[in-house]
Chains A and B, each alone.
Chain A
Amino acid sequence: MYKSIDEINERIRDGSVRVVSAEEMPDIVDELGVTGALREVDVVTTGTFGAMCSSGAFLNFGHPEIPIRMEKMWLNNVEAYAGVAAVDCYIGATQESTTRNAEYGGAHVIEDLISGKSVELHARAKGTDCYPRTSITNEFTIGELNQAIMVNPRNSYQSYNAAVNMSDRAIKTYMGYLLPSHRNITYSGAGCLSPLPNDPTLSVIGSGTPIFIGGANGVVVGEGTQSSPGSGFGTLMTSGNMKDMSPDFIRAATMTGYGVTMYVGVGIPIPLLNEEIVKHTAVRDEDLKTSIVDYGTPFRDRPVIREVTYAELKSGSVEIDGEEVRCSPLSSYKKAREVAAELKSRIENGSFTMALASRPIDSQKRNKPMAEKGYVYHVNEMMVSTFVTITGQESVKEAAKRLLKGETNHLPVIDAENRLIGIVTTYDVSKAFANDEQDMTVSEIMTKNVITIAPDAPVDFAARTLQQHNIGALVVIDASRHILGMLNSYDLGDLVGGRGRR
């Protein structure tokens, strides 16, 4: 059995269409079977509401009386890309304000416009014969724009890694605040309610598929940037008229310590045309797997800690190394349901009809990483492998001698098995002498929380770590805390300055 898109649209027009949400589908298919479900249901609605950094909007301001070809422009002090003709721009969601940093950015400009607030435009130009003006400052609202078209280059991730932090320091990421030593897990996506998991082979969704976006009736442009459906990480490029959007479904956000992002509500209706499509929409959270990866490492290929299903993630706690770790989303499931429900009511009241995609999206495509052409230096190439150490039981006086002899400012402290347990610096030792404490033991004055680095870390990361902690050297250790060398900031100096020359 199969159904045509025209039949479904006919039912939408006469009000007899039967729409269910993707959450309800598995039970319906269990009860009625695939053929029965195809007979009974016409459209399955999906929804997601999460942080989509890759978002923005094209705006057209119209020409002022003395025309200007805007070359640089700011909206509420957030720079927009003006290299698109004379009075157009693309405001990107993650661009931060020049005055308020990450507390206000492109996403906030977009949300303010959608909320009807007035926004200040400031633009500069060099001036030409046909566009003589060199600057303009003006207030405008969305109603005064000719067009405000949201375009999200990458949206509706099929699935996304869950994040954990295995390192011993808290980190601030686009996945939220990750506590040290795997004390929390964050994840994104609505699981079985998300659009792409309901059409993983992209047999229905393609260029031209009508969607709900941010409150507007929009469209799938086509394949999203970085799309990798062949490995389960497909994305879509989407678009919609911002003038029809609502702050209920578009929200600017700031991931503290990371930057600005935008929460976008997207819902895609899946018309049930044949049994294959029905089977895909019967997906449950138990069937949808993703990986929990360690964001505590600075590499692109972050270690996978374990596989996990969306059912486990949604349960609120996941086991890692025999411990129950609290786990919470950063996308909103409640809002995702509101998106699916709103889409359902639009279809039922006849204001949203179905269409077949005009061009398919390659469902086998896999994403490629960047092939860096320049040479990337690693810590083990820059560290010094001759270094002096001391044990905790030795005296501060001995530490002073060792520092002098080694001509160094940093003295790693080791235990009987040669493992790193602390560090003393010339500052610590001088302080002890000044306080008449030279007979104390090293372990009494050492810093226990040593900032370390792995030998295979890129030096750029090492430089950032040195800067963040405002220290002069890092101890390079292996996984069992044996010291391999020392990385001094003065050794990095010229490298960080003149990369590529050695």
Chain B
Amino acid sequence: MKLMVEFDSDGVQYPNIAAAILRSGVMVNVERALIDGDEGWALLDVDDRDAGKFIAALTRKGVSIRIQKDAVSHNRTDCVDCGLCISICQKQVFSFDENWQLVVESDRCVLCGRCATYCPQRALSIQK
């Protein structure tokens, strides 16, 4: 699953992610991150079975953790099932079912926002 971790000014002072990995022994993949002196966020991918353990190890002052669900929201009424988003997204979030209807598997999304920018019908939006 994907975890959205946000750091406030205390949270950015300490190597929280590294410490949590060491403490829990759980491997995570940092998919996107933006951290500067005052605050920051990181999108982590962690195996569902290890998520509880990792979240426990990461829970500290200055760190807030949220399970990232429904990262992309898809407006069925506006969508025309053109499929342009399928090849634009490099995380294979989108595909067609056997009736050429768009299927969205939001859990693979890394919130890059590209699909929302380029959907010709403006039928996609990204949770922030």
Contacts and interface: CB of A to CB of B under 8 A. Distances in A.
Contact of B120 (A51, A184, A328, A335): A51
B82 A330 contact: yes
A253 B122 CA distance: 8
A329 B88 contact: no
Contacts of B87: 184-186, 326-328
A334 interface: yes
A326 B87 CA distance: 6
B13 interface: no
B84 A329 contact: yes
Most chain A Cβ neighbours within 10 Å, of B85, B95, B96, B120:
B120
A148 to B, nearest CB: 22
B83 interface: yes
Contact of B118 (A49, A177, A331, A337): A177
Contacts of A337: 100
Contacts of B23: none
B75 interface: no
Contact of A176 (B99, B120, B122): B120
A251 interface: yes
Nearest to A174: B120
Contact of A335 (B81, B84, B95, B122): B81
Interface in A135-180: 172, 176-177, 179
A200 to B, nearest CB: 24
A27 B82 CA distance: 26
Contacts of A172: 118
Interface in B74-121: 80-88, 90, 95-96, 99-101, 114, 117-118, 120-121
Interface string A309-332: 000000010000000001111111
A50 B84 CA distance: 11
A-side interface mostly: strand
A256 B90 contact: no
Interface string B38-74: 0000000000000000000000000000000000000
A254 B82 contact: no
A186 B120 CA distance: 13
Contacts of B85: 328
Contacts of B81: 332-335
B84 A328 contact: yes
Contacts of B100: 332-334, 337
Contacts of A316: 86, 95-96
A333 B80 CA distance: 9
Contacts of B96: 316
A261 interface: yes
A104 to B, nearest CB: 11
A331 B81 CA distance: 8
Interface in A252-283: 253-256, 261, 263
A186 B84 CA distance: 7
A294 to B, nearest CB: 16
Interface in A208-254: 251, 253-254
A261 B88 contact: no
Given A254-B120, A334-B99, A334-B100, A183 B90 contact: yes
Contacts of B120: 51, 176, 253-256, 261, 263, 330
A316 B103 CA distance: 14
Interface string B13-33: 000000000000000000000
Contacts of A330: 82-84, 120
Contacts of B101: 334
Of the candidates A183, A255, A330, the one having the most CB atoms from chain B within 10 angstroms of its own CB is A330
Contact of A331 (B82, B88, B114): B82
A176 B86 contact: no
B118 A176 contact: yes
B84 A176 contact: yes
B121 A253 contact: yes
Nearest to B85: A328
B95 to A, nearest CB: 8
Contacts of B86: 316, 326, 328
Contacts of A185: 87
A161 to B, nearest CB: 16
Contacts of A329: 82-84
Contacts of A328: 83-88
Contacts of A177: 84, 88, 114, 117-118
Interface string A183-195: 1111000000000
A332 B122 contact: no
Contact of A332 (B80, B88, B90, B95): B80
A332 B118 contact: no
Interface in A321-353: 326-335, 337
A184 B80 contact: no
Nearest to B77: A247
Nearest to B117: A256
19 contacts: A177-B88, A177-B117, A184-B88, A185-B87, A255-B120, A256-B117, A256-B118, A256-B120, A261-B120, A263-B80, A316-B86, A328-B83, A328-B86, A330-B82, A330-B120, A332-B80, A332-B100, A333-B81, A335-B80
Interface of B: 80-88, 90, 95-96, 99-101, 114, 117-118, 120-122
Given A49-B80, A50-B82, A328-B84, 6 more contacts: A176-B120, A186-B87, A255-B120, A330-B82, A330-B120, A333-B81
Interface of A: 49-51, 172, 176-177, 179, 183-186, 251, 253-256, 261, 263, 316, 326-335, 337
